[in-house]
Amino acid sequence: DFPLLPYLDDAEDEEPGGFDIRITVEINGQVVAEPPFASMYWTAAQQLAHMTVNGASLRTGDLYGSGTVSGPETHQRGSLLELTWNGRDALELAEGKRTFLEDGDTVTLTAWAPGPHGTRVGLGDVTGRIVTAP
């Protein structure tokens, strides 16, 4: 690992910042991964600082996208490419082994974060369905 550049290194910031977002990834209703946002290499604040120092402008209401969220354990890999190790290791689904998505598959991402005193902050879910190309 390389040391952080000064604009990204805040030694006074003892907490990584933001929510410890928990994500569940399902394919056709079957949980295939649970990547933790807490394992991201860069914090959201560092990613936003890096974007803006390189010229990107941000305004109130802008949506932040971190990219693929993955953890160090196999069940924490956040993409099918990572889950199957680039297609080498097939993923076991109820429909059989898979190394890629097929027409008709649905992928659902559900997220939440721990709140104060054991509560949960629900962030909702989003589902996409693979359709046949025209």
Q: Which residues are annotated as a binding site?
A: 68
Q: Which of these, 127, 87, 129, lies nearest to 105 by C-alpha position?
A: 129
The β-bridge partners of 120 are: 114
Measured in whole angstroms, the distance separating CA 6 from the mean position of its chain's CA atoms is 26
The helix, strand and coil proportions of the chain, stated in percent and rounded to the nearest 5, come to 20, 25, 55
Residue 118: phi and psi, rounded to 5, are 80, 5
| Residue burial 64-89, b: 16+ Cβ < 10 Å; e: rest | eeeeebbbeeeebbbebeebbeeeee
Binding residues for substrate: 68
Tell me if 7 sits within 8 A of 53, measured CB to CB. Answer: yes
